[in-house]
Amino acid sequence: MGDEAPEPQTEAPGFAAELDRHLRSYRDGAFIEYARRWYSGDEVTGLADALLAEMDRCGIPGHATVGLVARNRVPHAAAALGLIADGRPVTMIYSYQSPGSIGRDIETLAPAVVVADSEDWTEPTVAAARRTGCLGISLTLHPRLAAEVIAPPSAEMLARASATRDAAGLHILSSGTTCPPKRTHLRIEVLRHTVTTMTMGATGCHRDPPELVYWPFGSVGICQLLAAPFLDKRMVLLEKFSVEDWVRAVKTYRIRRAGVQPALLRMILDSGVPREDLASLEYLPGGSGPLEPELREEFERTYGIPLLWAYGATEFAGSVCAWTPEDHRLFGADKPRSVGRSLPGVHVRIVDRHDPDQRRRSHHRAAGHVRQPSAGEVCR
């Protein structure tokens, strides 16, 4: 999208260029629905181009890190997609924290650029940007999509950014499921695996029901954002998950699949959502935490929708094992604790923590499924 290209990375130009091509294919057609209003592809790429133009005008090199205070809003989606498509290094800054904490993150990370919503440019964050010397850009949705400079970069920052070549890709926060949240670097060349795990190898087109995007962009949710353009599909973007908005999107657009989490399933059940409201769903891929067999059985019995659980981590750039609809049909009743088969290109090794020398390696399309093993048990 921008005029300046970063230093070539392995496979990066191919991924970035492919994303850019997908984004521009929407043109004046509907791309993102947010707050029940559709935004066209031209509006989204227009904001991305404006952001990149401001960075170029201020002398920011293409290999300098951009910090994005991420919210699930259209301007932030446009910024994230545009930066990735331009091959820029991007680090996510968690928005759901105090202004002082956001300011501390800005000073600790010291990116060349900080992009944030107008409401996040508070006195502490503006002061932090000025102390750091970074370029500050404000994103607005109303009265129009716009990216405006609110803090120019210092000469010292520009000199430092020119002398440092950061690797293209994403620095995102892990979910904290298995350990305290930490910042993980996903190189741009591994994002293709991320997209594959998010789409489960599906194909699509603009006429298909839209993707439903609601996981927070500050963490692995940014990878969910990438799925829609790579499928050439529209998306419904939720700033935060709510049962009402999620069900409305499913009913309105006859959505056939949507990523879920255990807490979401419990909220749907507890809200008493009628079975007919979810009739379009063929299956629900899920992850981000273990799915208890009792919850799975209750949900599938109530709605008749297969739950296709996966195992992964932010550090793996997505899932490493997952169920398929066919596997669920054949083995779902017998292996309720399984995490499915290893995905293409993934090698899985099961190690007995009491006897590390007793292990078995599983390759893609292995004969058996991995289910939570007892001591000494291996993949069969």
69-127 residue pLDDT tens: 999 999 999 999 999 999 999 999 989 899 999 999 999 999 999 999 999 999 999 99
pLDDT digits (tens, 9 = 90+) for 348-366: 777 777 776 655 544 444 3
Q: Which two tokens stand for residue 92?
A: 């996510």
- The percentage of residues in the chain with a pLDDT greater than 70, rounded to a whole number, is 83
Residues 166 and 273 in one domain: no
Same domain, 43 and 144: yes
**Both 130 and 32 in a single domain?**
yes
Mean pLDDT along residues 275-288: 90
Q: Is the same domain home to 264 and 117?
A: no
* Residue 264 sits in the same domain as residue 144: no
What pLDDT does residue 291 have?
82
The domain boundary residue, chosen from 153, 170, 187 = 187
Query: Model confidence at 195, in pLDDT bands (50, 70, 90)?
Result: confident
Give burial (CB, 10 Å; 0-12/13-18/19+) of 38: middle
Rounded Cα distance between 282 and 181, Å, is 33
Span 320-346, average pLDDT: 76
**279 and 177, same structural domain?**
no
Q: Is residue 271 located within the same domain as residue 164?
A: no
Report whether pLDDT(161) > 70.
Answer: yes
Mark whether 17 and 120 lie in a shared domain.
yes
* Boundaries of domain holding 76: 12-187
Q: Which of 133, 163, 187 is the last residue of a domain?
A: 187
pLDDT confidence bin for 371, thresholds 50/70/90: very low
329: pLDDT confidence band, cut at 50, 70 and 90? confident
**Percentage of the chain lying above the pLDDT 90 cut:** 55
pLDDT at 360: 52
Domain identity same for 147 and 283: no
Residue 311 lies in a domain: yes
For residue 275, the model assigns a pLDDT of 97
Task: Check residue 174 and give its pLDDT.
Answer: 66
Please tell me the total count of domains within the chain: 2
Residues 294 and 157 in one domain: no
Q: Is residue 363, in this structure, part of any structural domain at all?
A: yes
Task: Answer yes or no: is 234 within a domain.
Answer: no
CATH number at residue 72: 3.40.50.980
In a domain, 7, yes or no: no
- Looking up residue 353, the CATH number of its domain turns out to be 3.40.50
Same domain, 181 and 253: no
163-190: average pLDDT: 75
Is 14 or 370 the better-scoring residue by pLDDT?
Answer: 14
Q: What is the pTM of this model?
A: 0.83
- Residues 180, 255, single domain; the answer is no
Asked if residue 254 is part of any domain, the answer here is: yes
| 197 has a pLDDT exceeding 80 | no
**Rounded to whole angstroms, how far apart are CA atoms 39 and 31?**
6
Mean of all residue pLDDT scores within the chain: 84
Residue 213 lies in a domain: no
Domain boundary among 187, 206, 230: 187
Q: Tell me if 18 is assigned to some domain.
A: yes
Q: Kindly state whether residue 288 falls inside one of the protein's structural domains.
A: yes
Task: Give the tens place of pLDDT for each residue, 204-241.
Answer: 677 889 999 998 887 777 778 998 998 899 999 999 99
3-state DSSP of the chain: CCCCCCCCCCCHHHHHHHHHHHHHCCCCCEEEEECCEEEEHHHHHHHHHHHHHHHHHCCCCCCCCEEEEECCCHHHHHHHHHHHHCCCEEEEEECCCCHHHHHHHHHHHCCCEEEEEHHHCCHHHHHHHHHHCCEEEEEECCCCCEEEEEECCCHHHHHHHHHCCCCCEEEEECCCCCCCCCEEEEEHHHHHHHHHHHHCCCCCCCCCCCEEECCCCCCCHHHHHHHHHHCCCCEEECCCCCHHHHHHHHHHHCCCCCCECHHHHHHHHHHCCCHHHHCCCCCEEECCCCCCHHHHHHHHHHHCCCEEEEEEEHHHCEEEEECCHHHHHHHCCCCCCECCEECCCCCEEEEECCEEEEEEEECCCCCCCCECCCCCCCCC
pLDDT of residue 91: 94
pLDDT tens string 9-62: 444 448 889 999 999 999 999 999 999 999 999 999 999 999 999 999 999 999
